[in-house]
Amino acid sequence: MVQPSRTTRSRLLPGLLSMMSSLVIVACSAAPHSPDRSEGSDSAPSAPATVTASAVPSPPAESGPTGETDPDCPGGACATVVMTGDLLLHGALWDQAALDAEVPGELDFRPMLAAQKEYVAPSDLAICHLETPVASPDGPFSTYPAFNVPPQILTAVKDTGYDACTTASNHTLDAGTTGLNRTLDALDAAGLGHTGSYKTSADAADILIAPAGAAAVALVTGTYALNGLVPEQPWQVDTLDTAVMIGKARQARAQGAEIVIGAVHAGDEYADYANNQQQSVAHALVDSGEFDLIYGHHSHSVLPIEKYRDTWIIYGLGNTIAAHATPDIRNTEGLMVRARFSRDDDGESWDVSELAWLPATWNGPEHRWCPVSIAALEKISRTGVVCVSPEADAASRARTMTVVESMGAAADGAVEWPEP
């Protein structure tokens, strides 16, 4: 895999703009939520961002990556994007990272995410969602109500195969502007691209466009709230504003993006449905004709997948990993989604030719991410290595499938991820 790049100023890996990239993309849905006392609640939604589409610069369009044609792809060329949900570090996770480290006093989060690698690494574009700011390597660290987590998690994210992370969430400002800037610096140091929060107005006006297979993919983000906190500058965090997001999508296409994905941070916590706000926002983005896929996070639970006007909406990916104090089985489950985009016969437009979803859990004593798809369960039956227990793993898959398919995803062609 190679590093993502921008067609304009880069906030990704310095000096690697010419390299191709593999990125896991994570998408969000938008809505107010009921407070989760273990994760942090939002006292009031933040004001919409004042950034307008006209504030986005219009540099000359640059061509995206051409890639090699693939005879197995409809249209001869494909781009594979992988997305996962909230990466939310509670204290139990960095306690486990200390136990997993070979050197006393250090933290190693790689074992927690290790099982993701065979799913993430083969993708053309892999994107995580970093829910919280990161602290300095030696701390101090904090969890609810204001997160400030170990930056060592980013080493694990990179090692797992992710290429970039979205950073717009209700917790983005938990450590203020200092924490926001420190987080972006840590992402840069780890070699991870990022979008959703920004150090400068010029960065905020820039669009993340990354090469993925044979296509150039843009990512546009927005969060429904900032936990009542007010940014020092209105451009510091992408807030949920459909007009702004649509404007950025149009600008991305003007800059050479062939595929535009919207990532929405919103929803009701621990729900198993997409609420009215999530649906109205996602539908508005699709109705604009500027987005090729919408995905969401924030609810800390798996939400349905819908095909609306021939465009896939993944309303909620749940958690990538977390350790909530709130005892709810839904916050120990998540989705990884792979969207395979194929170029149409006209050679101009791209559509999702396959959407695959992978159910997962980490509800074990060592907090290991663990797939529970039918293919994974069959492997478990052969090897005897389970995630939680055979009964719990099967129940997790069944619960996830019921929610994922509750808005007609199966009938519309979404499939459970086969063996990697």
Following DSSP, what letter does each residue of 379-418 receive, concatenated? Answer: HHHHH---SS-HHHHHHHHHHHHHHHTTTSTTTTT-EE--
Domain count, the chain: 1
Residue 18 lies in a domain: no
Residue 60 lies inside a defined structural domain of this protein:
yes
Q: Is 218 left (phi over 0), alpha (psi -120 to 50) or beta?
A: beta
Residue in this structure with the two tokens 């296509």, named with its chain if needed: 215
Angle at 64 between CA 58 and CA 306, to 5 degrees: 90
pTM, rounded to two decimals: 0.85
Q: Which of 6, 187, 4 is nearest to 79 (CA)?
A: 4
Is residue 287 situated within a structural domain? yes
Report the alpha-carbon distance of residue 305 to residue 381 in Å, rounded. 28
Would you call 125 helix, strand, or coil by DSSP?
strand
- Is 218 a member of any domain? yes
Residue 2 maps to a domain: no
Q: 210 and 219 in contact (C-beta within 8 Å)?
A: yes
3-state secondary structure of 294: strand
pLDDT values of the chain reduced to their tens digit, one per residue, 420 residues: 433 433 333 333 333 333 333 333 333 333 333 334 344 433 333 333 322 222 223 332 333 333 344 556 766 799 999 999 999 999 999 999 999 999 999 999 999 999 999 999 999 999 999 999 999 999 999 998 999 999 999 999 999 999 999 999 999 999 999 999 999 999 999 999 999 999 999 999 999 999 999 999 999 999 999 999 999 999 999 999 999 999 999 999 999 999 999 999 999 999 999 999 999 999 999 999 999 999 999 999 999 999 999 999 999 999 999 999 999 999 999 999 999 999 987 778 999 999 999 999 998 889 999 999 999 999 888 988 899 999 999 999 999 999 999 999 999 999 999 987
- Longest CA span, the chain: 58
State the CATH number of the domain containing residue 175: 3.60.21.10
Q: Establish if 27 belongs to a structural domain.
A: no
Within 10 A of 170 (CB to CB), how many other CB atoms are there? 26
Residue 172 within any structural domain of the chain = yes
Amino acid at 321: I
Domain that holds residue 303: 53-416
Alpha-carbon torsion (239, 240, 241, 242), positive or negative: positive
